[in-house]
Amino acid sequence: MMRLPVSLQSLVIQCLALLLAAWLTPLLQIPFSYLPALWQFALVQGAIAAGLSFLWRQPAWWPPLHVGFLPAILLAQQASLPAWIYLTAFLLLVLFYWSSFRTRVPLYLSDRKAWHAVASLLPETQAFRFIDLGSGLGGVPLYLAPRFLQGRFYGTETAPAPWLISRLRAGFKRSRVQFMRRDYATLDLADFDVVFAFLSPAVMPALWQQAQAQMRSGSLFISLSFAVEARQPEHVLTLAEGARHTLYAWRM
């Protein structure tokens, strides 16, 4: 179960919770008789799903999503929304989370604190090539490029909508950042002096192996929020309280 992508884990959890709720609901009819049966079932199912999510150690934002999933469906049914709204919502999810099912990397967006911290690790005068793996909306390289004129900046993203938005932002800003729509696993990291990643714990072991195999001696590997267990980082920058707000860097 733990090796499944988070999306598949969540599907299994929702199905198990439905089965358990169907079994438990008759037993709860007496103490919760003041609730409509359908809402009672939805709340019980959501609570069970959240508990299972916690037991399987899913990321912290998944239990609340499990709690609200079935009630949200019931609300949508009561609202009698036109069918095109559901289709639009589905298409947007596909465009923004195109490969999350396969890569197990959701859309994470870093903030200016992280950008400042990354900037503090870059060479001030030496030319270098920088790439953001899973560049999302392009915030990191678009922020760094005008501040390091000697650097060449790249971003790579597989989801169509974030990639298109980053390309449009680069065109609007007349930025020299180049955004590619490619899986970072297909890249040769030897082409870059600085590799930055803000991905997920699920992919860090494989990414670290790729970095060790491909990155040149002296190059810099930077990860936001997610450390590598195989080796202690040379730099640890705490941006705010909590492990999710920590920048790690390794000199290869």
- pLDDT single digits (tens) 93-111: 665 666 655 555 566 677 8
Mean pLDDT of 193-214: 91
Q: Quick one: pLDDT band at residue 23, thresholds 50, 70, 90?
A: confident
Q: Which long-range contacts (CB under 8 A, 24 or more apart) does 22-31 make?
A: 24/48
Report the CATH superfamily, name and number, of domain 112-251: Vaccinia Virus protein VP39 (3.40.50.150)
Whole-prediction pTM value? 0.69
- pLDDT single digits (tens) 51-94: 888 887 776 667 888 888 888 877 777 777 776 676 676 676 66
Burial of 10 (0-12, 13-18, 19+ CB in 10 A): buried
Residue with tokens 């465009």: 95
Residue with tokens 């971003």: 155
pLDDT at 154: 97
CA 112 from centre of chain = 17
- pLDDT single digits (tens) 123-142: 988 999 999 998 888 999 99
Q: Is the pLDDT of residue 3 over 80?
A: no
Q: Report the percentage of the chain scoring pLDDT > 90.
A: 37
3-state helix, strand and coil shares in percent for the chain, rounded to the nearest 5: 55, 15, 35
159 close to 184: Cβ distance less than 8 angstroms: no
117 close to 247: Cβ distance less than 8 angstroms: yes
Determine the Cα–Cα distance for residues 163 and 158; give it in Å rounded to an integer: 7
pLDDT at 2: 47
Mean pLDDT of 210-230: 92
Residue 67: both structure tokens together: 């709690």
239 close to 247: Cβ distance less than 8 angstroms: yes
Determine the Cα–Cα distance for residues 115 and 214; give it in Å rounded to an integer: 25
Write down the domain spans for the chain. 6-80, 112-251
pLDDT at 103: 54
Identify the bridge partners of residue 197 per DSSP, sorted by sequence position: 133, 223
Q: How many other CB atoms are found less than 10 A from the CB of residue 200?
A: 19
CA dihedral 75, 78, 80, 84 (to 10 degrees): 20
Q: Is the pLDDT of residue 188 over 90?
A: yes
